[in-house]
Amino acid sequence: MQALYQWDLSGSNLKEIEVQFLQDEDFSRADKDYFHELLHEVPARLDEVEAAFSGYLDRSVQEMDPVERAVLRMATYELMTRIDVPYKVIINESVNLTKKFGAEQAYKYINGVLDKAARSLRAVEHPQGKKDGSGLLKR
């Protein structure tokens, strides 16, 4: 999340940010491949990622706090592509990141937006997943 935040604010080269984080941060317990995927794929698919959550916002993506924006981008990408990670885990981790780095009550907003996004992106998994007219879950 911090690397995506840095990319968003500085516009720095993703490879340079990756090298910096790998050198400066303790990655002994981190999944470097997962970090690489998130850092490179979220920006590569930015329009698609933002389209998946922007309908649940009460403001434009650009008006959001940069920490909240980074968390939503990362989490939504994970909801879209990482079906190996349960949606509840993605939301919980996002809430925890927002509590640590975001504004005081921002985690509540992040939780609500991601829960709504998960209803659509993880309809089969989410208990309130969107259903089509026949009562069947949309995929």
Domains of the chain: 2-121 (1.10.940.10)
The pLDDT, as a whole number, for residue 115 is 95
This prediction has a pTM of 0.88
Flag residues of the chain having pLDDT under 70: 130-139
Place of tokens 């190996």: 84
Please state, as a whole number, how many other Cβ atoms lie within 10 Å of the Cβ of residue 85.
Answer: 13
Percent of the chain with pLDDT over 70: 93
Measure CA of the first residue to CA of the last residue in the chain; give whole Å. 28
The pLDDT, as a whole number, for residue 134 is 41
